[in-house]
Homo-oligomer: A and B are copies of this chain.
Amino acid sequence: MSNSYKLVRRTSPKSSVVRVGDVVFGSGDFVSIGGPCAIESVAQIEAAARGVRAAGGVMLRGGAYKPRTSPYDFQGLGDEALPMIAEAGRAHGLPTVVEALGESNVPLIAAYVDMIQIGARNMQNVPLLRTVARTGLPILLKRGPAATLDELLLAAEYILLEGNERVVLCERGIRSFDKNTRNVCDIGGALRLQELSHLPVILDPSHAAGRRSLIEPLALAAAAAGLDGMLVEVHPHPESALSDCEQQVDLVDFQRIVRRVHAVRAARDLADDRANAVVV
């Protein structure tokens, strides 16, 4: 199995660079994406965009179609959310990323956003992978909660096989036997993906932790470990969010997180340079 991914396999030390507007994944910089779990209103996404930008974030996320475990939970605003996030992103100079849930939504989403997300539940939804690939837009491909690294890379292979090489991988926590955290944040697996593939790899600490207090330290861990960025759920008022309120940070938190990840990342890179000159 593991030798069947040909296009995503790393064959040289140089990683692929994926551009989304002015944002560059895979260049060595740490990319900070923020935004609410679900787009709830014009005012909410506008406030989120403003705050994400002020905090140093460079991309805006927001859910239009929410893949909820229960049919009785909030399912997102749907199509009408798309112009909201598009406008908020444009107003604040932030490229946007929105998840596609089904093949039929893809053309409309593609008309509004800068990057399409494939969520964890759809990582092996082959018709959807092929459909989003053909839009030519960059794709944020999340690892399924019980997907092996091989399976994730083969899912990416489906996209590259359609001629679309603009894929960013995202670790968002895997399922385990312990319920103290919503998922287990597999930073080691994300690092291994960087070794196996030339594609950029970012971390979603929000879903990985499922608990607000762990988002910041996991984001710092991702930056220090050398991952290519983070995707953080940010809400102007997390306590009143319509979904995932336990794992969204507010704008003040997000600003602190962004500053700290950059400080840690800079120290990591500087220490690397110095260390390379050291002999025991």
- Alpha-carbon separation in the docked complex, A252 to B149 (Å): 30
Q: Which residues of B contact A149 (CB under 8 A)?
A: 178, 180
Give the contacts of A152-171 with B (CB-CB under 8 A).
Answer: 154, 157-158, 161
A274 to B256, CA, bound (A): 9
Q: Is A218 an interface residue (CB 8 A)?
A: yes
> Which residues of B lie under 8 Å from residue A196 when comparing CB positions?
180
* Cβ-neighbour of A148 out of B177, B186, B223, B267 (below 8 A): B177
Evaluate contact between A189 and B179: CB separation under 8 angstroms: no
A contact patch SS: helix
Q: How far is the CA of A226 from the CA of B252 in the complex (A)?
A: 20
By beta carbon, the residue of chain B nearest A75 is B126
List residues 120-158 of chain A with CB under 8 A from any CB of chain B. Answer: 121-122, 124-128, 144-146, 148-151, 154, 157-158
- Sampled A-B contacts (25; CB under 8 Å): A4-B72, A70-B154, A71-B157, A102-B128, A146-B146, A149-B180, A175-B177, A180-B189, A184-B184, A184-B186, A185-B187, A188-B208, A188-B209, A191-B217, A192-B214, A220-B225, A221-B224, A224-B224, A224-B264, A259-B274, A259-B275, A260-B271, A263-B267, A264-B271, A267-B267
A71-B157, A122-B125, A176-B176 known, 9 other contacts, Cβ within 8 Å: A68-B126, A70-B154, A71-B161, A145-B146, A221-B221, A224-B264, A252-B280, A256-B278, A267-B267
